[in-house]
Structure 1
């Protein structure tokens, strides 16, 4: 039987700790046997969860040494720094070959051990910039659901934590067992780690009163047109070279990259709120052809327009 140790630190996010307990605890083999033994571990008997209630951790940190997998759930932003004993226990487990995964902000604890240095990792997109700032040696990837480095795995927000747990179950016991666990969680199995976190990316801010302000407003109003760098620069009276330099200085990106994200944002809005087909959306958002629309949308959003619409299209709730 595979032992999963779920680490319960103070101020742990309740959903994050419940996710691995339920996902691994509900898994069943074809003959009905339980493939996982789940243990909640911590430094003390009880920890605060989401500032609403307490969780009892029956096992201490010594149980991490016997685990096959350790899951580090996220903690609230105001949580105290992880106990050095926790970090050392995680390092020792990693040295022994134990698989370690984090959910959401649990990546901060894992990064604090130094184990993620030089590796790709993710966390909730809201916290991704902070993770990159605090741990510059970690290759933070804010636009994916989870990152699997083999022994070390990280996931984005709470729902992505379930994706990651199902991914590990599939690695351990195959797709049939993982699919059954997914059905019990009313969760699709097919979401892959490379799928983007569903973020409508805000454009980099432009200083108020900047010469770029009217140009960007004009671009937003004319996304359906064939906008060239020359056409954008002409709105400011600058040369293309000067416009590109000023644009990068004030936004941190190029005019064409900014334009692509603006078009994807427009397409996201149309996919969520209209019945329009891809041809019409491609034209209104300025992608030119449906083929170009699909390719560029997937490049930025990480999924196809059809998959995005299926995930975000507002539909009436069913009452059963």
Structure 2
């Protein structure tokens, strides 16, 4: 039965009273961002209030504008995040039911969303790691997870690998070959010794800038470290000496920490620090030095030598450290009469 003229008029009045939300305002082939009033999968009250204000537009808007009614003011768009929607038919789900609206004339651009927690492309990596690991686009953090074996990973997006406080004792020579863009590697507080670090381990890490090997069982500085390093930490190990080749090729190194080892005047060569052309920060606390080491870089600005066995300060030992700004000699055995009169004068 066809509706009468009176019934048609009533239906038109009802439609006009419903809130109208613009889905896309025609502007050539692009969507105007000013009227894209809600995020997909986001039902924030603030967005709803903004939409309500926009629904008070004049009923005489251009016929070219597409509208959908939103009775409960909750709309969910079914769209793949980060993808470009082709100008084909799409569905818009309304809280009170489903309405299929032809928006073929409205090609949609990329939809911006808040960062997601679950990363599908990391799924295969997650399966090879123990419980408790944290992953992001550029970070893999598995600290204090009880890890025993070093994980073999392949991901060019990873820049930080944090494996501190575990039980790793061996690292396969090829273990880091799949992480060519790694910039920060933390292996502190494990069970690594000299045999754990092969000559080829860091060969592929041409972008590595920070390396932390604190709290292991190393007796010497690993060979063939990446020239790209700017920070090297080997505190709390069993380093038995430093040679002229210990830091060979590390001309970009800015920070070097060797606290709590077995270093003394007899096992540290005067040429040890010669390759370090840019070093500004050096920690040598809690060793067995009886004097300030010689051959320190002229670029050095901060030197920590507390908790050693230093008894005197020679007159010319600091002559070349013209940029030194901070020197810590606390908790040593220095007497006032064992400090040369011109020790602090360059």
Shorter-chain TM range is under 0.3
As a proportion of its length, which structure holds more helix? 1
Q: Rg: which structure is higher?
A: 2
TM-score, normalised with respect to structure 1: 0.28
TM-score, normalised with respect to structure 2: 0.26
